[in-house]
């Protein structure tokens, strides 16, 4: 029952299109789905076939009754070999829990990345043009500049070497 519920819950088209999986992963997933569909088809095919043998019909048709008796005896004695599938199921369940945990972890990671990207996008959208930049903004962004200027002023250094050559000044002398 659990498998049916899981199959109903998984929307494969969404997985293929929206999760951005790699080509190899999608190919593996498709192969797995095909295998599952094939297994289901074969199972349905064999389940619909009759499992009983009408021995009375053979008794009426065949002259050799002994062979029919022997066949019936063999048929009744036949017991299908039972496999212990619990180990397999356990392994599959362990794998499933691991896969689910990993998927959740990946989803959380992607959520965090998405949030960061959105924050970056908002930052880019809200950024002001270069002309509107003020000294205060630069000072806030780099407090080290403020500290450097404070030490410069304390030491009595009021000018910046190279500034006059680059930008000039307004003094007439």
Partner 1 sequence: MPQLIPFYFVNQLSFAFLTLIALVYIFSKYILPLFTFQQVIRLYITKLSNKS
Q: Could you say whether residue 170 binds partner 1 (CB under 8 A)?
A: no
- Residue 71: exposed, middle, or buried by beta-carbon count in 10 A (0-12, 13-18, 19+)? middle
Q: Could you say whether residue 138 binds partner 1 (CB under 8 A)?
A: yes
Contacts with partner 1, 63-92, as mask; x by CB under 8 A: ------------------------------
| DSSP string over 56-122 | HHHHHH-S-HHHHHHHHHHHHH--PPP---HHHHHHHHHHHHHHHHHHHHHHHHHHHHHHHHHHHHH
From 21, 26, 71, 146, residue interacting with partner 1 (rule: CB under 8 A): 146
Q: Could you say whether residue 171 binds partner 1 (CB under 8 A)?
A: no
Q: Could you say whether residue 127 binds partner 1 (CB under 8 A)?
A: no
Using the contact rule CB under 8 A, the part of the chain among 18-26, 33-41, 110-118, 137-145 near partner 1 is: 137-145
Q: Could you say whether residue 26 binds partner 1 (CB under 8 A)?
A: no
Q: Could you say whether residue 166 binds partner 1 (CB under 8 A)?
A: yes
Q: Are 68 and 58 in contact (CB under 8 A)?
A: yes
The contacts of residue 10 (CB under 8 Å, 6+ apart) are none
Q: Give contact residues for partner 1 (rule: CB under 8 A).
A: 133, 135, 138-139, 142, 145-146, 148-150, 152-153, 157-160, 162-163, 166-167
């Amino acid at each position: 029952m659990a498998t049916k519920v899981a199959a109903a819950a998984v929307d494969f088209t969404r997985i293929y299109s929206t999760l951005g999986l790699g080509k190899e992963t999608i190919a593996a997933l498709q192969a797995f789905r095909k295998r599952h569909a094939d297994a289901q088809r074969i199972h349905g095919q064999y389940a619909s076939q009759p499992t009983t043998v009408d021995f009375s019909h053979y008794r009426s048709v065949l002259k050799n009754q002994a062979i029919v008796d022997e066949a019936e005896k063999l048929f009744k004695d036949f017991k299908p070999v039972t496999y212990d599938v619990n180990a397999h199921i356990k392994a599959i369940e362990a794998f499933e829990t691991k896969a689910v945990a990993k998927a959740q972890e990946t989803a959380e990671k992607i959520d965090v990345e998405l949030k960061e990207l959105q924050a970056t996008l908002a930052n880019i959208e809200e950024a002001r043009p270069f002309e509107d930049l003020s000294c205060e903004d630069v000072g806030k962004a780099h407090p080290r500049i403020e500290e450097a200027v404070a030490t410069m002023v304390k030491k009595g250094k009021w000018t910046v070497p190279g500034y006059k050559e680059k930008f000039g000044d307004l003094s007439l002398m």
